[in-house]
Copies of this chain bind each other. A is one copy, B any other.
């Protein structure tokens, strides 16, 4: 059911019966390595292009999540996925492999929670069961498409972020064991006029705050109800801006309860990541790996994941457009 202007409250609380996280070499060297189901030692995955390697990770995440749920491919009713490649080819080609009814999504890096929100809505409304919600990104494939092929060795400012090489997937069902999705807030597109694609955290921070404030307003709750609020990929620069903007709304969370997937996934020693991780795979792998694992261990009862997306294209940037941004928030609870 709708609550307020932009929030869905799920009365049947869809269950995340399994999750999967697949990562690449930089993720394997990071502090969350132990939370991945599968890690690759190089960016190629034995494929002849980075795009094919990206697709393969998403296919692997789907395989792993089906296996962990104890299901077969034919038990899956829908696949909801989006990614950053033009025409979301990683998702569509993975959907060809899965061969189940497919809904393609695009919300840039917010696609992880866009798919989880829509999948939860479908399960909650009895419009489907055993739904895979997935997404993927790949450092070299995205650099090539959005900026420069990495072989050029182009330099970047310290506000730039590092695209996560990783795929995440969740399997949603009407019944079963696992954390449950209780609500989702769908974001509006905001644009504060930032035009620098090397500073996307700043562009996306206002969208994250807009969605967080809508979420607590629509549900009439305090953000303190959550043990953890994690933005998707604001990185160190954007996350600080988000914290400052929340303060202006009189919302302040202790540092250990307000974090960002793009900060968590790499260590401070990994200096090449600059301001932190980004990409569809960032919030997906951290949520469906690390955060769900912490919930299962009993360390977290209730979390809010606020996946952020920068809705630019290289063409819109070249045409001097600013960067519209969006954020979708999903709350996940551990059953008592």
Contact = CB atoms under 8 A, between A and B. Distances in A.
Given A85-B315, A107-B104, A324 B93 contact: yes
B313 A95 contact: no
B311 A99 contact: no
Contacts of A124: 125
A291 interface: no
A52 B106 contact: no
B86 A51 contact: no
Interface residues of A, number: 58
A33 to B, nearest CB: 31
Return the 8 tightest CB-CB contacts between A and B, nearest first.
Answer: A125-B125, A87-B313, A92-B311, A101-B186, A6-B101, A96-B189, A104-B106, A95-B189
25 contacts: A2-B127, A2-B128, A2-B129, A5-B101, A51-B319, A52-B319, A78-B186, A82-B104, A89-B311, A89-B313, A92-B189, A95-B188, A95-B324, A95-B326, A101-B186, A102-B187, A102-B189, A103-B105, A103-B107, A104-B105, A104-B311, A105-B106, A118-B118, A121-B121, A125-B127
Interface of A: 1-2, 5-6, 8, 49, 51-52, 77-78, 82, 84-89, 92-93, 95-96, 98-108, 114, 118, 121-122, 124-129, 186-191, 311-316, 319, 321, 324, 326
